[in-house]
Amino acid sequence: MDSLEQKLEERRKKNSLRVLKESNTYLLDFSSNDYLGLARSEKLKKLILKEYESGKYLNGSTGSRLITGNSTLIQKTEEYLSEKFRFPACLVFNSGYMANLAIFSSIPQRGDTIIYDELSHACIKDGCRLSLAKRIPFLHNNLEDLERKLRTAEGQAYVACESVYSMDGDMAPLGELSELCQSYNARLIVDEAHSTGVWGEAGAGLVNELGLNNSVFAVVYTFGKGMGIHGAAVASSQSAKDFLINFSRPFIYTTAPSAFELISIQCAFDYLKTHPSLQLNVLSKSKLFNQQLAEFSTPSPIKSVLIGGNDKTKALATELQVAGYDVRPILSPTVKEGTERLRICLHSFNSEEEIILLCDQLKRHLGQ
């Protein structure tokens, strides 16, 4: 058995082998990141197609932005996003993963220190690994542990967190984090992947909703979740944008987004601005779930039902799917052994009856 097959066999034995499956469109969606239902919105699709067909656009961008991929459209999109997010400058990326890889691998320098929340997404950690700076995790949402590490940080300190954490659905204490970073002259970088669209005026995120724009060094906004499309952007100062253009390998050597992606970004935010009820709707669905299952309540549409064990978690997910609910298991090694869970995502299009029935199913399976 070669080394590749040996590693795969180890996963099979632990019942943690990852395989690609088609989405079950006939099941009730309680697993996707389409919190506002924009990915399935026919009205938004028509707006995007109408705008796209109104101009003479190439099918692809033809190259990286420093060669042939730059355009008036992409520059106007970045200006549009800068105004929306209330930051001096924005730089568009093909995905949130690439945006985080770009900022953490290039901006912190040798002799600097990156202190990141231990539950930060893999792309933040991967960006930190590529950096020449020293990298240190701090206990999840633990301000005391963060302060201990800020006291001994070398060079310029950077603090990384997510506004809403993708596995647990809890929030970072952004106000307190911002104050702590300012007191130590540390630069706070916030990943708004799971709050873009859901919070803030017309989906501008939690940093905007809390009025922290002037005290946060940079924000990574992702459009492939709440906004229902694709792409991402780093919002920061003009100097930070210029630095990324000059020194960030994930930006320099990546093909630029296509015109269709850029048009979709503007259309999605314009659409959300005229449909604010979508945000209120999904947050009210979150409160309903919290009332039904207080043990698993969170302030976000993400609900984490800890089960423990790959076999047990997969079995329960299968039972729920057979009952008509698309609920997916999150297994180790994606999460630590013993913290395997069902990750339930609520959406504006889930009815109150569907949520109550799902909660009833969970109560029965969990013996409540």
Q: How far apart are CA 202 and CA 198, in angstroms?
A: 8
Q: Are residues 109 and 242 in the same domain?
A: yes
Angle at 317 (CA atoms; ends 315, 322), nearest 5 degrees: 95
Residue 281 covered by a domain: no
Question: Phi, psi (5° rounding) for residue 36?
Answer: -100, 0
Q: How far apart are CA 91 and CA 107, in angstroms?
A: 14
Higher pLDDT, 60 or 2: 60
Q: Are residues 22 and 107 in the same domain?
A: no
DSSP string computed for 26-56: TSEE-SSS-TTS-TT-HHHHHHHHHHHHTS-
Q: Are residues 190 and 77 in the same domain?
A: yes
Residue 290 covered by a domain: no
| 242-256: average pLDDT | 97
| 89-108: average pLDDT | 98
Residue 265 covered by a domain: yes
How many residues would you count in the chain?
368
Residue 152 covered by a domain: yes
Q: Are residues 14 and 154 in the same domain?
A: no
Q: Are residues 135 and 21 in the same domain?
A: no
Q: Are residues 235 and 119 in the same domain?
A: yes
Q: Are 282 and 203 in contact (CB under 8 A)?
A: no
Q: Which residues have a Cβ under 8 Å from the Cβ of 79 and sit 6 or more positions away?
A: 90
- Residue percentage of the chain with pLDDT more than 70: 99
Nearest to 222 by CA among 240, 244, 205, 238: 205
Residue 280 covered by a domain: no
Q: What is the CATH number of the domain that holds 28?
A: 3.90.1150.10
Q: Using one digit for the tens of pLDDT, what is the confidence trace for 150-161?
A: 999 999 999 999
Strands annotated E in 153-217: 157-162, 187-191
Q: Are 27 and 326 in contact (CB under 8 A)?
A: yes
Q: Are residues 234 and 306 in the same domain?
A: no
Number of Cβ within 10 Å of residue 129's Cβ equals 11
Q: Are residues 248 and 321 in the same domain?
A: no
| The two three-digit tokens of residue 12, written as one number | 């099979």
Number of Cβ within 10 Å of residue 286's Cβ equals 22
Q: Which residues have a Cβ under 8 Å from the Cβ of 275 and sit 6 or more positions away?
A: none
Q: How far apart are CA 339 and CA 344, in angstroms?
A: 15
| The two three-digit tokens of residue 190, written as one number | 């916030």
Which of the four pLDDT bands, split at 50, 70 and 90, describes residue 116? very high
pTM: 0.95
Domain count, the chain: 2
Q: Is the pLDDT of residue 1 over 70?
A: no
Q: What is the CATH number of the domain that holds 89?
A: 3.40.640.10
Residue 295 covered by a domain: no
Residue after which a domain boundary falls, among 273, 290, 317: 273
Question: Phi, psi (5° rounding) for residue 268?
Answer: -65, -45
- What's the pLDDT at 79? 98
Q: How far apart are CA 368 and CA 366, in angstroms?
A: 6
Q: Are 234 and 241 in contact (CB under 8 A)?
A: yes
Pseudo-torsion of CA 201, 204, 208, 210, nearest 10°?
A: 70
| 166-182: average pLDDT | 97
Q: Using one digit for the tens of pLDDT, what is the confidence trace for 14-28?
A: 888 888 888 777 899
Residue 289 covered by a domain: no
Domain extent, residue 201, equals: 45-273
- What's the pLDDT at 22? 80
Q: Are residues 114 and 58 in the same domain?
A: yes
Which of the four pLDDT bands, split at 50, 70 and 90, describes residue 368? low
Q: Is the pLDDT of residue 60 over 70?
A: yes
Q: Are residues 216 and 354 in the same domain?
A: no
Q: How far apart are CA 324 and CA 248, in angstroms?
A: 45
Pseudo-torsion of CA 72, 255, 43, 76, nearest 10°?
A: -20
Q: Are residues 221 and 309 in the same domain?
A: no
Residue 284 covered by a domain: no
Q: Are residues 209 and 306 in the same domain?
A: no
